[in-house]
């Protein structure tokens, strides 16, 4: 190296730090400038917040409602917001379904069960910028108290249930704030599956819905389904009470398995074990022997079947009927079918809103039935199946696919979704079923179907202790275990029969849904015990 170069190097060395230093200084200066800018901006905003918020007391998060005061304030229901309330100032409490800010306005959709209405906060003499910002930031699903004036709208608001009005908000308070991250979005939960696929939008799968049932139940579809289910129970009770039936309650903790030992839950009962009732069968019959003549009961039924299908639950609600009859078990069939028809009519006439709401997400054909109800004999059903190419024996039970096929054939031939199949083969029915008097192959038993799926299994019961003992022995049932059951027929028992339906299955099939978990509020199946 020459002297100059060395010198150059030293000079560079001396300037080096200053060059780098310069760069560093520049960066720091920029950073500081940015920070100062930000602070100034915040300060300015803060100032403006402080300055301009004339609407400070017309919005906010008040103290938690701990029943501090009794306010004499009438809250209007969203479903009552109609044009005849135009220009009235009202209070209401609803959930924030969506909130969207657009410049100086914030559009909210307020929801109450199946009904929703559009609401608007606009910067003006009633609302400040800060209030609009507050409204836009309220998290979805929060519960709010709103004072607003009802205004008629020129153009119908298609996306809301209340299409002719909108609310202009004067005051808005958050009564209960929802956490910002919801486990599922309600709009996604209500989206029909096909639409989701087509437009690439999300839908929520069933397991997620069931895991977060509380939120899923808030959707319009769920609200409609369970209101309809409540209607079924009510119509069942009302119709039977009018027919002179008495409602009874039967025990669910029992000492012996009623339908056959395999599918029963065992519970520990002090020093021994007991079982959860698979059906109220035995107790219904004992009530008939106790002269209650016509009884029904609504209660849980527990089946420990490891069936993971679209139509099985381990716990479901059973609607059971039992009645004494005079001379022929068809009197029982007529009573049951008439009850079902009254239920169908009641649903058709009083729950159209709910049915249409469910159909929006789950389209289906309306439920059809005949009056009087169609009753086919088992042999006729088998003949129809054979005509369609199915091979089966005279005494074979119907498999699920054959039941469905028969349902379709019946629908095509008679145009009904509801029918009774009478005179089942004796071999496939429980031991307490009364055999046919004229043909030992068959029995006085029947099944009822909705949309090709079985909803009720019933029969004339054996009311003679001796015959009952014979049939139980034939089925190899331990007589000791059913001693008290057989005893109830030893002291005079009237001829009787009945049947039981599953509430969830009936709702599912009436609405044309495809999974019984949709009609069970908190379903139980072999894989699900919570919520």
CB of 365 to other proteins, least distance (A): 6
| CB nearer to other proteins: pick between 389 and 437 | 389
Cα 361 to Cα 170: distance, rounded to the nearest angstrom: 35
364 binds other proteins (CB under 8 A): yes
Name residue, tokens 């060059």.
Answer: 19
| CB nearer to other proteins: pick between 395 and 453 | 453
- Out of 126, 312, 524, 528, pick the active-site residue: 312
Considering only residues 387, 476, 480, 492, which one is a binding residue for other proteins as defined by CB under 8 A? 387
505 is a catalytic site residue = yes
8 Å CB contact between 177 and 123 = no
Cα 61 to Cα 64: distance, rounded to the nearest angstrom: 9
389 binds other proteins (CB under 8 A): yes
The 467-506 contact track toward other proteins, x by CB under 8 A, reads ----------------------------------------
Name which of 175, 118, 106, 197 is nearest 152 in CA terms: 118
- Out of 93, 95, 191, 303, pick the active-site residue: 303
CB of 404 to other proteins, least distance (A): 8
| CB nearer to other proteins: pick between 435 and 512 | 512
Name which of 214, 189, 218, 228 is nearest 522 in CA terms: 214
CB of 356 to other proteins, least distance (A): 16
454 is a catalytic site residue = yes
Element (H, E) at 338: helix 330-350
CA distances from 174 to 61, 116, 345 (A): 5, 18, 43
Listed in sequence order, the residues at least 6 apart from 417 whose beta carbon sits closer than 8 Å to its beta carbon are 367, 368, 369, 407, 411, 450, 451, 509
Cα 456 to Cα 498: distance, rounded to the nearest angstrom: 10
CB of 412 to other proteins, least distance (A): 4
| CB nearer to other proteins: pick between 409 and 521 | 409
| CB nearer to other proteins: pick between 497 and 512 | 512
Beta bridge pairs of residue 445: 459
| CB nearer to other proteins: pick between 425 and 512 | 512
8 Å CB contact between 500 and 457 = yes
- Out of 311, 375, 429, 471, pick the active-site residue: 311
Cα 366 to Cα 410: distance, rounded to the nearest angstrom: 16
359 binds other proteins (CB under 8 A): no
311 is a catalytic site residue = yes
305 is a catalytic site residue = yes
8 Å CB contact between 153 and 85 = no
CB of 409 to other proteins, least distance (A): 6
363 binds other proteins (CB under 8 A): yes
8 Å CB contact between 385 and 408 = no
- Out of 147, 187, 305, 395, pick the active-site residue: 305
Cα 521 to Cα 514: distance, rounded to the nearest angstrom: 15
398 binds other proteins (CB under 8 A): no
CA distances from 97 to 118, 160, 465, 472 (A): 10, 11, 63, 59
198 binds other proteins (CB under 8 A): no
Site for other proteins in 402-441 (CB under 8 A): 405, 408-409, 411-412
Cis peptide before 531, with omega less than 30 degrees from 0?
yes
| CB nearer to other proteins: pick between 261 and 363 | 363
CB of 352 to other proteins, least distance (A): 20
| CB nearer to other proteins: pick between 54 and 414 | 414
CB of 503 to other proteins, least distance (A): 23
**DSSP per residue, 440-506:** TTBBSEEEEEETTEEEEEEEEBP--HHHHHHHHHHTT--GGGGHHHHHTTTT----EEEEEEEHHHH
Stretch that binds other proteins, among 56-64, 130-138, 141-149, 401-409 (CB under 8 A): 401-409
Considering only residues 9, 42, 267, 388, which one is a binding residue for other proteins as defined by CB under 8 A? 388
CB of 197 to other proteins, least distance (A): 15
Residue 213 tokens read as 């049932």
Total number of residues binding other proteins (CB under 8 A)?
13
512 binds other proteins (CB under 8 A): yes
- Out of 142, 149, 364, 457, pick the active-site residue: 457
CB of 393 to other proteins, least distance (A): 17
Residues annotated as part of the active site: 303, 305, 311-312, 454, 457, 505
Q: What are the residues binding other proteins (CB under 8 A)?
A: 363-365, 387-389, 405, 408-409, 411-412, 512, 514
């Amino acid at each position: 190296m020459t002297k100059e170069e060395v010198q150059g190097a030293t000079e560079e060395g001396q300037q080096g730090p200053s060059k780098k230093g310069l760069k560093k200084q520049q960066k720091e200066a920029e950073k500081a400038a940015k920070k100062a800018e930000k602070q100034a901006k915040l300060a300015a905003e803060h100032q403006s917040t402080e300055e301009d918020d004339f609407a400070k007391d017309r919005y906010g998060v008040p103290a938690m409602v701990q029943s501090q005061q009794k306010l004499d304030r009438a809250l209007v229901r969203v479903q009552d917001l109609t044009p005849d309330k135009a220009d009235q100032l009202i209070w209401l409490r609803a959930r924030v379904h969506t909130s969207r800010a657009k410049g100086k306005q914030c559009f909210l959709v307020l929801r109450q069960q199946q009904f929703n209405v559009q609401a608007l906060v606009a910067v003006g003499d009633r609302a400040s910028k800060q209030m609009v910002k507050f409204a836009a930031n309220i998290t979805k699903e929060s519960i709010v108290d709103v004072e607003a004036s009802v205004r008629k709208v020129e153009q119908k608001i298609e996306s809301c249930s209340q299409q002719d009005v909108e609310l202009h908000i004067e005051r808005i308070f958050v009564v209960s704030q929802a956490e910002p991250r919801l486990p599922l979005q309600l709009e996604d939960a209500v989206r029909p599956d096909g639409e989701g696929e087509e437009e690439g939008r999300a839908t929520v799968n069933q397991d997620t819905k069931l895991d977060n049932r509380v939120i899923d139940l808030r959707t319009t579809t769920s609200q409609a389904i369970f209101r309809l289910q409540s209607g079924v129970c009510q119509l069942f009770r009302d119709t039977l009470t009018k027919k002179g039936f008495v409602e009874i309650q039967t025990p669910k903790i029992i000492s012996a398995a009623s339908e056959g030992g395999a599918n029963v839950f065992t519970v520990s009962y002090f020093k021994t074990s007991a079982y959860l009732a698979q059906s109220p069968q035995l107790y219904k019959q004992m009530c008939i022997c106790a002269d209650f003549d016509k009884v029904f009961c609504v209660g849980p039924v527990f089946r420990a079947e490891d069936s993971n299908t679209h139509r099985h639950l381990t716990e479901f609600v059973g609607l059971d009927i039992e009645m004494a009859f005079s001379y022929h078990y068809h009197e029982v069939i007529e009573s049951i079918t008439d009850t079902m028809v009254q239920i169908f009519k009641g649903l058709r006439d009083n729950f159209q809103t709910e049915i249409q709401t469910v159909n929006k997400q789950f389209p289906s054909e309306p439920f059809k039935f005949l009056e009087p109800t169609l009753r086919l004999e088992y042999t006729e059903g088998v003949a129809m199946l054979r005509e369609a190419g199915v091979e089966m024996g005279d005494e074979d039970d119907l498999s699920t696919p054959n039941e469905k096929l028969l349902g379709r054939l019946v629908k095509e031939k008679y145009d009904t979704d509801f029918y009774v199949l009478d005179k089942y083969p004796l071999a496939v029915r429980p031991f307490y079923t009364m055999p046919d008097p004229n043909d030992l192959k068959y029995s006085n038993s029947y099944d009822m179907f909705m949309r090709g799926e079985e909803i009720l299994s019933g029969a004339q019961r054996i009311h003679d202790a001796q015959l009952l003992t014979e049939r139980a022995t034939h089925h190899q049932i331990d007589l000791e275990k059913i001693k008290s059951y057989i005893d109830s027929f030893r002291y005079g028992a009237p001829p009787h029969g009945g049947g039981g339906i599953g509430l969830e299955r009936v709702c599912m099939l009436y609405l044309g849904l495809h999974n019984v978990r949709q009609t069970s509020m908190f379903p139980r199946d072999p894989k699900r015990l919570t919520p």
